[in-house]
Amino acid sequence: MRANFPVRLGPAEDALIAQLKAAGADAAAERITVAGLPTRRVESYHYTDLKTLLRAIPPLATAANEASAPALRIPGAFNLMIANGAIQNAATAPAGVIVGKAEGGVLTTRDDVLVHINGALAKEALTLTLESSVDPVIQVERRVEGEAAHVADALKIFVADDASATIVETFSGSDAAHVGNHATYLSAGKNAVVTHITIDLSARAVSHFATNEYQLADGAKLRTLVIHAGAGLARTHVFPRMAGAGAHADLTGLNLVADGQHADITMETLHAVPHTSSQPLFKSIVRGRAKAVVQGKLVVARDAQKTDAKFMHQGLMLSDEAEILSKPELEIYADDVVCGHGSTCGMIDEDSLFYLMSRGVPKAEAETMLVRGFIAELFDPIEDEELNEALQGIVDGWLMNGQ
């Protein structure tokens, strides 16, 4: 078939193939040689055509000479850094936290080109073992420094039974056309309570890709928040597996995009056993000629009776040129479940805007108030006040840049 219908490869694909072969990842290179980067014909990439959007792949990153300070400051946080794929020296870890290294990738093998590339090119993984509850926020800064570079890095987190923690990952770097491919695997033990937040604050020239995979044991509680607020092209995968009875996940995300940006959150949640629940809630705010994508699939296995899962995506368009694309899906093999999905999209409510303006609030300030109200339910559950304030600051900065 390939001889009769060869795939026409572009510069990005040629560069990826060369890098993968140089790393000894012949199987991953052959996949791209045969199929190329995914196009609209690949269902999970229907709205994010990588063959069209990803035009070039820069050289693999070399060691960073000097990494900058974290792009987001969270007072009191325990800070770790991965710069250009390499783990940097860390300060003394808080009680109950063991920091280490492991070789290679961290993700479960699945049929996804970004997962394959990360597994092939990530040389080392930062490991965090949380043996007990951790009080300070753990912040992992993942940076790409210097001239345009291609980076694949990895983070693996184990949270012990009955432990609790808040982990924040921020993605940033120099103002160059980097391509970042980041992987995070998080395993939550029995009755663990974990908040995991990932924030893209990269420069506009960057192409940012991240895959977050979660494994939840009996009674584990997980809250996630993905924020896209930087890169010109961004896509984050969210792959939770509800593996223990009583496990619950609040899966949330926010696309903040403006002129020329394309941001995609793609989620697939697997309810693998009975008596699990999830509540995915994603929001997109778009201004100018930009595009936000949210794809959400809930998969309920044959034996996963008594599953309770509901997906919702809400979009807010701040301009006539804004584009928001939503694709909710249910794949249910059990017969005793409560599952649903929904999606809404629209402009700022004119009645609400008129109400505020009629009481002396300037139009720009009134619009800002309504946007903050729109996203409040994503941030309100974040109990750490300084972290919550830092997240609010990201939204405020985005709003100010558009005024």
> Which H or E element spans position 401?
helix 385-401
pLDDT at 3: 45
pLDDT at 70: 79
pLDDT single digits (tens) 139-180? 999 999 999 999 999 999 999 999 999 999 999 999 999 999
Checking phi first, is residue 219 left (phi over 0); if not, alpha (psi -120 to 50) or beta? Answer: left
- With vertex at residue 275, the alpha carbon angle to CA 165 and CA 327, rounded to the nearest 5 degrees, is 80
- DSSP one-letter string for 305-367: TT-EEEEEEEEEESSTT-EEEEEEEEEE--SS-EEEEEEEEEEPPHHHHHHHHHTT--HHHHH
- List 296's β-bridge partners, or say none: 267, 328
175 exposure class (CB count in 10 Å sphere: 0-12, 13-18, 19+): exposed
pLDDT at 354: 86
* CB atoms near residue 64 (< 10 Å): 22
Do strands 124-130 and 221-228 pair parallel, antiparallel, or not at all (unpaired)?
unpaired
Rounded to two decimals, what is the model's pTM? Answer: 0.95
pLDDT at 69: 74
Checking phi first, is residue 380 left (phi over 0); if not, alpha (psi -120 to 50) or beta? Answer: alpha
Q: Which residues of the chain have pLDDT under 50?
A: 1-4
The three-class DSSP label of residue 145 is coil
Do strands 291-300 and 262-271 pair parallel, antiparallel, or not at all (unpaired)?
parallel
pLDDT at 5: 55
Say how far apart CA 174 and CA 377 lie, in whole Å. 32
pLDDT at 247: 98
- Judge whether 52 and 39 are in contact, CB under 8 Å: yes
Listed by start position, the domains of the chain span 63-348
56 φ, ψ to 5°? -150, 150
